[in-house]
Amino acid sequence: MAEGDASPRGSIRNVVEVMWEDLPGHFGGAYSKMLVRPEPSGSRLIDYRISTYQPKAYVEPHAHGVQEQVYHILEGEALMEIDGQQRVVRRHDVIFVPPGITHAIYNTGLVDLTFIVVTSPPDDVEPSSV
């Protein structure tokens, strides 16, 4: 944090109180709740969200420059694509995606797909060398 910034603060949020967001690159009823981010939580290194994808919803193939991600499937079934390889994922599967690897997730099931995504750092920018 820059000089003069306050120390990060702890926070408690109830998931029910957070609005679902329709994020760019997500289609067909793919929504996320941004639970821990720099704003409003004060997190410096973590983006923690819960996502729900209706049947046939998906995020288009994409890659992150510096971010790494962990997906934890809570409910449903999906096709996870990582670096051109596809695999069916379901409840209790945990997926790691390193920076620079193209990935996508498609709800191929008949029910909603619900999963947690943890991303670090929260924004896809190179850290400052100041």
Domain boundaries, the chain: 32-120
In the structure, what pLDDT confidence band is assigned to residue 7 with cuts at 50, 70 and 90? low
Distances (CA, A) of 26 to 60, 101, 127: 6, 18, 26
In the structure, what pLDDT confidence band is assigned to residue 39 with cuts at 50, 70 and 90? confident
Query: What whole-number distance in Å separates Cα of residue 10 and Cα of residue 27?
Result: 33
Average pLDDT across the chain, whole number: 92
pLDDT at 34: 96
CATH architecture of 32-120: Sandwich (2.60)
Q: Of 117, 96, 97, 128, which Cα lies nearest the Cα of 46?
A: 117
How far from each other are the two terminal CA atoms of the chain, in whole angstroms? 11
Tens digits of residue pLDDT in 57-102: 999 999 999 999 999 999 999 999 999 999 999 999 999 999 999 9
Structure tokens at 91: 């409840």
pLDDT at 1: 43
DSSP lists the bridge partners of residue 72 as 94, 116
Is the pLDDT higher at 7 or at 105? 105
Q: Average pLDDT for residues 38-56, to the nearest whole number?
A: 94
